[in-house]
């Protein structure tokens, strides 16, 4: 089945944890070399479960009007400090006040995996 051409139905940017879930679902025997390497990277880099990542991305978009690409980066990085969060959001000339950054961090902390 690996050589069967596939048709792209839609394109959607997703987080690293969501990528991990999709590749794990496919099964190692169906994955090519690039996909296997991507899966290994996703396993090492995921900081939150895929379901939580998706919910966090949606909440950041609805509650704070964070663009999807920025929300995905936040879910990928799971920043702990305002400085880390600012580095993700520092582009596009958008100014976000400190109180809003603190609120975003509180939301991120709600989704953070408990160690």
CATH number of residue 56's parent domain:
1.10.150
User: Which residue in 70, 60, 62, 73 sits closest to 92, CA to CA?
Assistant: 70
- Based on the fold, state whether residues 22 and 65 are members of the same structural domain: no
Contacts of 75 (CB under 8 A, 6+ apart): 15, 16, 17, 48, 53, 56, 57, 60, 111
Q: To 10 degrees, what angle do helices 82-89 and 98-111 make?
A: 100
If asked whether residues 92 and 105 sit together in one domain, one would say yes
For the whole prediction, is pTM greater than 0.95? no
Q: Rounded to whole angstroms, how far apart are CA atoms 102 and 49? A: 23
Domain of residue 78, residue span: 50-111
The answer to whether residues 63 and 38 belong to one domain is no
Mutual orientation of helices 82-89 and 68-77 as an angle, nearest 10°?
A: 140
**pLDDT tens profile 19-67:** 999 999 988 788 999 999 999 999 999 999 999 999 999 999 999 999 9
């Amino acid at each position: 089945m690996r050589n069967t051409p596939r048709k792209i139905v839609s394109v959607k940017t997703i987080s690293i944890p969501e990528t991990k879930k999709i590749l794990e679902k496919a099964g190692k025997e169906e994955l090519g070399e690039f996909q296997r390497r991507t899966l290994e990277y996703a396993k090492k880099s995921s900081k939150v479960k895929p379901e939580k990542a998706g919910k966090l991305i949606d909440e950041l978009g609805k509650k704070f009007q964070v663009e999807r690409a920025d929300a995905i980066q936040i879910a990928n990085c799971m920043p702990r400090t305002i400085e880390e969060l600012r580095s993700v959001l520092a582009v596009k000339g958008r100014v976000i006040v400190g109180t809003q950054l603190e609120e975003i961090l509180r939301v991120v902390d709600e989704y953070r995996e408990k160690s």
